[in-house]
A and B are shown apart, each in its own frame.
Chain A
Amino acid sequence: SAVISQKPSRDICQRGTSLTIQCQVDSQVTMMFWYRQQPGQSLTLIATANQGSEATYESGFVIDKFPISRPNLTFSTLTVSNMSPEDSSIYLCSVTDRVNTEAFFGQGTRLTVV
């Protein structure tokens, strides 16, 4: 199993500002992903965080809005840029080491944009 530490756990931000969320895993993992869960909604995959290269974004998400870094196999950051109230969501980091294992999730970052 993997233990994920996600920071901050929550934040209230002013519109137009940016917030960087950190995801630290206690072991080296192959795959890391970032999800968003808007209020009352399911989890939507934002992007796959690739080590040492640009993240792979899902349809509807762009690097300028959600820049992602992954400098090594245990750490990644997601930045929510130029925030608006519509960005108010829970953002979750998820990792998996290989196929036929479960995915592990961080506790999430509850973001409120005012």
Chain B
Amino acid sequence: AQSVSQHNHHVILSEAASLELGCNYSYGGTVNLFWYVQYPGQHLQLLLKYFSGDPLVKGIKGFEAEFIKSKFSFNLRKPSVQWSDTAEYFCAVRILATGKLIFGQGTTLQVKP
């Protein structure tokens, strides 16, 4: 069965620290890749997406992610986090054959001011 695994469940960083959140998926076929953010009490918001082409994609709020096909990974990065980045982050993989979007377990990021 297809699955998405996020390595870090809870990350605590100080402001200005660098961030990297891991995401791996298990599926051998063609996929679209996404990172979503959910701020406390709010709805999902799309951070960035990868469909094809340059494996390094840039999203909103200074986030970027790199697709490494050989590793089935799509890690999220930000050079310098802010207190306002405190949120839940979800990696998601769309299986193109079915259109299904499968979510990882989520990572809670807490940024200390």
How many A-B residue pairs have C-beta atoms within 8 angstroms? Tell me.
47
Task: Identify which of A30, A42, A108 contacts B90 (C-beta below 8 A).
Answer: A42
Q: Does A33 contact B (CB under 8 A)?
A: yes
Task: Identify which of B1, B94, B98, B106 contacts A103 (C-beta below 8 A).
Answer: B94
Given contacts A42-B106, A102-B34, contact A48 B98 (CB under 8 A): yes
Q: Is the CB of B32 within 8 A of A100?
A: yes
Q: Does A43 contact B (CB under 8 A)?
A: yes
Q: Is the CB of B103 within 8 A of A44?
A: yes
Q: Does A96 contact B (CB under 8 A)?
A: yes
Shortest Cβ distance from B108 into A: residue: A40
Shortest Cβ distance from A108 into B: residue: B43
A100→B96 CA distance, assembly (Å):
8
A108→B44 CA distance, assembly (Å):
10
Q: Is the CB of B43 within 8 A of A94?
A: no
A45→B103 CA distance, assembly (Å):
8
Q: Is the CB of A99 within 8 A of B32?
A: yes
- In this complex, how many residues of chain A approach chain B with their Cβ under 8 Å: the count is 20
Q: Is the CB of B106 within 8 A of A105?
A: no
Q: Is the CB of A103 within 8 A of B101?
A: yes
Q: Chain A's nearest CB lies how many Å from the CB of B14?
A: 24
Residues 1-59 of B at the A interface (beta carbon under 8 Å): 1, 32, 34, 43-44, 46, 49, 51-52
Shortest Cβ distance from A58 into B: residue: B100
Q: Chain A's nearest CB lies how many Å from the CB of B22?
A: 15
Which residues from chain B sit less than 8 Å from chain A, CB to CB?
1, 32, 34, 43-44, 46, 49, 51-52, 90, 92, 94, 96, 98-106
Q: Can you pick out 21 interface pairs between chain A and chain B where the beta carbons lie within 8 Å of each other?
A: A30-B99, A33-B99, A33-B100, A43-B44, A43-B90, A43-B92, A43-B103, A44-B103, A45-B100, A45-B103, A59-B1, A96-B94, A96-B99, A96-B101, A99-B94, A99-B96, A100-B52, A102-B34, A103-B94, A103-B101, A107-B43
Which residues from chain A sit less than 8 Å from chain B, CB to CB?
30-31, 33, 35, 41-45, 48, 59, 94, 96, 99-100, 102-103, 105, 107-108
